Structure 1
Amino acid sequence: MASSNFIDYVKICSRSGHGGGGSAHLHRDKTTAKGGPDGGDGGRGGHIILRGNSQLWTLLHLQYRKHIIAENGHNGGPNHSFGAQGQDEVLEVPLGTIARNVETGELMCEITEDGQEIILTPGGRGGLGNAHFKSPTNQTPRYAQPGEPGIEEWVVLELKLLADVGLVGFPNAGKSTLLSVVSAAKPKIANYAFTTLEPNLGVVAYRDYKSFVMADIPGIIEGASEGKGLGLRFLRHIERNSMLLFMVSCESADIAEEYQVLLNELKTFNPELLDKKRVLAITKSDMLDEELEQEMRATLPEGLPAVFISSVTGKNITPLKDMIWEALNS
């Protein structure tokens, strides 16, 4: 499903630790023949915890860890000794990771901040020792609670990239080239379809030391929302973008129609994507003369901010950044 170094979907068996049993001990020593109950409580079983890590951008490190098992809690002991807590198992995940229950499909949690910790699978509680059950009518209880069992469940971890701007377009629209020009990202670029096989992120510098994050999503083809091409796998990454930059080559026979096809694919996948701010960039416009550009401008979709750019010559790259910044902050 994924290339060798970008993994955005893993299925794991998450098993938290069992709680330790309480102790049913009665106090005895050389001066006390019949002491009272002094059994301590059992320790809590270990949790399975997700922790956000801004230095990660893939789930590759979890690809071959199918079973995540936390330590069981330890049993309580005499003299009111509490059992040790089972060690938690902490999974570092990239920001934008969501967890779903495999059986129900229920969204369990999502990680959006660096250092954020969420208990994915809680450990079982430790049992109470017999010291808790002493009463005037039962001064030597000889029973204690067992620990609660841990939880075992299959969970899907799915990464949805967190970026301010998502680039949307057909293959060869110039998305990778633009990202390489406006940021330090170095995506693979070539003159054939689907050069980009995995998303690339780049930080774009803006005026007065401001910046925003741009994501180059692999090219969409007509029918992507139905699972054709690479589109279905990567459409979910667009869900987390604050705004969408549609990119259509000036070589297109009909820019407005191509834009509409892209819009329809997003709508079919998730209608809420149409609520995002949009900007249209017509790429490779260094090939146009001024008269032809004016003719094409008259055919563009109404009410949509649009700009003719060239990543090769740098034409209108700064105005494009201005339009993006305005869309992000309006």
Structure 2
Amino acid sequence: MIHNIAGDLSFTPVKHISLALKYRHQEIERDSPATVNYPFASPVTLLVRPSSDSVRDSFILSATMRSDSNAIYRLEYSAELEKRNNLRDSGSSPGPPYLLHSDSRQTHTGAASVSLRPYKGVKLSSFYSYSVSDSQDYISSFSDRHKAKLLLTYTNCGKWGATASYLGQYETGENTASTVAPAPVASYLLPRKHHSGSGNAGVWFSPAERLTITTSYSYLVTDTDQSVLFSSLISDANPLVVTNYSSSAHIYGIDAVYAISEPVDISASFQQSFSRSRFNVPFRSFSLAGVAGPFDTSDITQLTSLYYVESAVSGRADWRISSTFGCSFDYNYRRFDSGNSDYDGSVHTAMLMFKAKW
């Protein structure tokens, strides 16, 4: 069962400044049976872990200033408070279903954004936010995060235009993991650093009436440093391994849209991406409690390295038969090339749709 409560309050003290306060409350209640019967187990009746309930409260306070029609400035602060119960410790052994705990988390975020129109046809938008969290529930959660966005667009009398954007993010976090053997249980902190970025650029133009052509390029990159506990049975004094995961991609695309007549449009596009990824793990040898023989991390980096090229061609036709009925046809062709027959191949997709509205 889900319960939601929302409230908004806005105030404009002067002509160019407005203030707003938003509140959101959500409760999620889950029910599960106390036991289940499983005929192949002994005993037949098994305990079931109680379902987790959660309560979330969000507060957003913002201030917006419009100095003129060409400039908008905005400041925002948000706080999110979350409580959950019937949780199992991450990284611990399953154990009895009654070994549970409750937790709470607070996330605070401050953000600033600016939107400008310095010249005719030019629009510039920028955004920055900083967030902190006092609890990392998952390995990919953050303790603090920086995020920045920048967007620039230009339009020349509807004949051609260009866009450029950048998105960057940097975050750090820390999680815990435990070994279950040999006893006693030992807990370790797993620090994590992650940054990602993407740059995009595109140009569109209309060489003829009812024809628009768009070209685009994108570059994506991500890099993560993470300490990893490969097994909960490691008996070495220092069981952690500092790993790095990195990936990048170059994406090129071109598409064209042509209106044959008022009710009929056709479009075609081509896109190609060149991607690579790698999970870099230094060589380490481990001893596992109760297991004979040494174990090591050799070949993980080589096995997880991947470079592939993905090519895609698509076409679409739309026919608006009347104000009530219409139909469209889609065709897509995708091909994957990585040098590995387990991943390589091609896919053809065709779809015919009929639409009606009244």
Assess same fold via TM > 0.5.
no
Using CA pairs below 8 Å that are at least 6 residues apart, which structure has the higher relative contact order? 1
Instruction: Normalising by structure 1, report the TM-score.
Output: 0.21
| Structure with the larger helix share | 1
| Structure with the larger strand share | 2
